[in-house]
Chains A and B, each alone.
Chain A
Amino acid sequence: MTEKKHFWNEYQKEIADDNYFYERSCIRQSFFPGSETAFLNILRNELGLTIIDDPNQHTCTGIGYHSDVVPFDTTMTICARLFSLMTDKELTNFVPSCVTSFGIFTEVIETWAQFPEELEKTRQFLRKATGREFKVPENIAHPSDIIYKYRKELKKKMKYQLVNCHTGKPLKVVEHIGCHYAKIFSKHSVGGAEFPQVLAGMIEEWGGQVIDYPERRHCCGFGFRQYLVMANRGYSVANTKKKFESMEPYKPDFVLTNCPGCTMFMDRWQYTIAEMEGKTYDEQQMGIPVLTYEELTGLLLGYNPWDLGFQVHQVQVEPLLDKLGIKYDLKDKFTGVTGKYLGEPEKPEYLKVCYE
Chain B
Amino acid sequence: MNDKHVIIIGGGPAGIEAANYLANNGIKITLFEKDEHPGGNIKNWAKLFPDFGDASVVRKEITDKLKHENIKFINNTKIERLYQENNHWVALTDNEKYYGDIVLLATGFEVFDAKRKEELGYGIYDNVITSVDFENMYKSGKMLTNEGKIPDSIAFLNCVGSRDEKVGNHYCSRVCCITAVKQAIEFKELVPDAQAYCFYMDMRMAGQFYEELYRKSQEKYGVNYIRGRISEAAVTMDNRIQIKAEDTLSALPMKMTVDILVLMVGIESSESTAKISTDNNIVGPYGFAKSKSLFGMDNLTEKPGLFLAGTCKRPLTLPETIADGRSAAVEIMNYLKS
A219 to chain B, nearest CB (A): 12
Could you say which of A1, A214, A217 contacts B236, with CB atoms under 8 Å apart? Answer: A214
Q: A249 contacts B237, CB within 8 Å?
A: yes
A residues less than 8 Å from B232 (CB atoms) = 194, 217
Contacts of A216 in B (CB 8 A): 234
From A1, A194, A250, B126 is in contact (CB under 8 Å) with: A1
Whether B118 and A217, one on each chain, are in contact in the complex, defined by CB atoms closer than 8 angstroms, is no
Chain B residues closer than 8 Å to A217, beta-carbon distance = 119, 232, 234
> In this assembly, does A193 line the interface, its C-beta being within 8 Å of a C-beta of chain B?
yes
Q: Which residues of A contact B237 (CB under 8 A)?
A: 213, 249-250
Interface size on B, residues (CB 8 A): 12
Question: In A1-36, which residues have CB < 8 Å from any B CB?
Answer: 1, 4-5, 7
**Structural contact, B118 and A214, CB atoms closer than 8 A:** no
Which of B115, B118, B126 counts the most A-chain CB atoms under 10 A from its CB?
B118
For residue B242, CB closer than 8 A to chain A, the reply is yes
**CB-contacts of B75-118 with A (<8 A):** 115, 118
| B124 close to A214 (CB less than 8 A) | no
Checking B119, B235, B236, B242 against A194 with a beta-carbon cut-off of 8 angstroms, the contacting residue is B119
Within 8 A of A (CB), among B264-299: none
Q: Which residues on the A side are within 8 Å of B119 (C-beta)?
A: 193-194, 217
Interface residues of A in 166-202 (CB under 8 A from B): 192-195
Partner of A195, one of B118, B126, B236: B118
Residue among A192, A193, A213 having the largest count of chain B Cβ atoms under 10 Å: A213
Q: Give the A interface residue count (CB, 8 A).
A: 16
For residue B192, CB closer than 8 A to chain A, the reply is no
Whether, in the assembled complex, B53 has its beta carbon less than 8 Å from a beta carbon of chain A, the answer is no
Whose C-beta in chain A lies nearest to the C-beta of B241? A214
Most chain B CB atoms below 10 A, which of A193, A195, A214, A250: A214
A112 to B118, CA, bound (A): 28
* B123 contacts partner chain A, Cβ-Cβ < 8 Å: yes
* CB neighbours of A192 from chain B (8 A): 118
User: Using Cβ atoms and an 8 Å threshold, which residues of chain A touch B235?
Assistant: 212, 214
Interface of chain A, helix or strand or loop or mixed? Answer: loop
**Are B115 and A215 in touch, CB under 8 angstroms?**
no
Complex-state Cα separation, A31 to B237, whole angstroms = 33
**CB of A198, distance to nearest CB on chain B (Å):** 15
Asked if A4 and B234 sit within 8 Å, CB to CB, the answer is no
In the complex, are the beta carbons of A215 and B118 less than 8 A apart? Answer: no
Question: A215 vs B242: C-alpha distance in the bound complex, in angstroms?
Answer: 9
Q: Please determine whether B234 and A5 come into contact, CB atoms closer than 8 angstroms.
A: no
Question: How far does the alpha carbon of A7 sit from the alpha carbon of B123 in the complex, in Å?
Answer: 9
| A5 with B124: CB separation less than 8 A | yes
Contact call B115/A7, Cβ cutoff below 8 A: yes
What is the CA–CA distance of A143 and B234 in the complex, to the nearest angstrom?
28
Knowing A214-B234, A214-B236, A250-B237, the reply to whether A194 touches B123 (Cβ < 8 A) is no
Whole-angstrom CA separation of A115 from B281 in the bound complex: 32
Look across to chain A and name the residue whose beta carbon is closest to the beta carbon of B240. Answer: A214
A213 pairs with B118, CB closer than 8 A? no
Residue of B nearest to A211 (CB): B237
How far, in whole Å, are A4 and B239 apart by their CA atoms in the complex? 15
Nearest Cβ distance between residue B152 and chain A, in whole angstroms?
A: 18
Chain A neighbourhood of B124, CB < 8 A: 1, 4-5, 195
Cβ contacts B110-149/A at 8 Å (1 or 0 each): 0000010011000110100000000000000000000000
Are A4 and B123 closer than 8 Å at their CB atoms? yes
A residues less than 8 Å from B126 (CB atoms): 1
Contacts of B236 in A (CB 8 A): 214
Task: Give A235-257 as 1s and 0s: 1 = Cβ < 8 Å from B's Cβ atoms.
Answer: 00000000000000110000000
Shortest beta-carbon distance from A175 to chain B in Å: 14
Knowing A1-B126, A4-B123, the reply to whether A193 touches B234 (Cβ < 8 A) is: no
Q: How far is the CB of B182 from chain A (nearest CB, A)?
A: 28
Question: How distant is the Cα of A168 from the Cα of B236 in the complex, in angstroms?
Answer: 26
Alpha-carbon distance between A7 and B125 when the two chains are bound, in angstroms: 13
On whether the beta carbons of B118 and A193 are closer than 8 Å, the reply is yes
Q: Which residues in chain B, 226-244, are within 8 Å of chain A measured between CB atoms?
A: 232, 234-237, 242
Partner of A214, one of B115, B123, B242: B242
Name the A residues within 8 Å of B118 (CB-CB).
Answer: 192-195
Residue of B nearest to A11 (CB): B118
Taking the closest CB of chain A, its distance from the CB of B261, in whole angstroms, is 13
For B234, give its contact among A1, A213, A249, A250 (CB under 8 Å). Answer: A213
Min CB distance A187 to B, Å, is: 13
Shortest C-beta distance, B125 to chain A (Å), equals 8
B239 (CB) vs chain A CBs: closest residue: A1
- Which residues in B have their C-beta under 8 angstroms from that of A195? 118, 124
**Docked CA distance A105–B137 (Å):** 48
- CA A1 – CA B242 in complex, angstroms? 17
When C-beta atoms are compared, the residue in chain B nearest to A191 turns out to be B118
Chain A residue, CB-CB nearest to B234: A214
Which residues 122-159 in A have Cβ within 8 Å of B in the complex? none
> How far is it, in angstroms, between the C-alpha of A250 and the C-alpha of B234 when the chains are bound?
14
Which one of A194, A212, A250 has the highest number of Cβ atoms from chain B below 10 Å of its Cβ? A194
Q: For the complex formed, measure the closest distance between the CB of B166 and the CB atoms of chain A, giving whole angstroms.
A: 10
Chain A residues within 8 Å of B242, by CB: 214
Q: How far is the CA of A250 from the CA of B123 in the complex (A)?
A: 22
Cα distance, A307 to B326, chains bound together (Å): 78
Q: Please give me the residue from chain B that is nearest to A215 by CB atom.
A: B234
Interface readout for B222-263 with A: 1 if CB under 8 Å, 0 if not? 000000000010111100001000000000000000000000
Residues of chain A within 8 A (CB-CB) of B115 are 7
- A residues sitting closer than 8 Å to B (CB atoms) are 1, 4-5, 7, 192-195, 212-217, 249-250
Interface residues of B (CB under 8 A from A): 115, 118-119, 123-124, 126, 232, 234-237, 242
Additional A-B contacts beyond A193-B119, A217-B119 (13; CB < 8 A): A5-B124, A193-B118, A194-B118, A194-B119, A194-B232, A195-B118, A212-B234, A212-B235, A214-B235, A214-B236, A215-B234, A217-B232, A249-B237
Q: Sorted from nearest, which 8 A-B pairs have the closest CB atoms?
A: A194-B118, A214-B234, A214-B242, A194-B119, A249-B237, A214-B236, A4-B124, A4-B123
Jot down 19 A-B pairs with beta carbons below 8 A, ordered by A: A1-B124, A1-B126, A4-B124, A5-B124, A7-B123, A194-B118, A194-B119, A194-B232, A212-B234, A212-B235, A213-B237, A214-B234, A214-B235, A214-B236, A214-B242, A215-B234, A217-B232, A249-B237, A250-B237
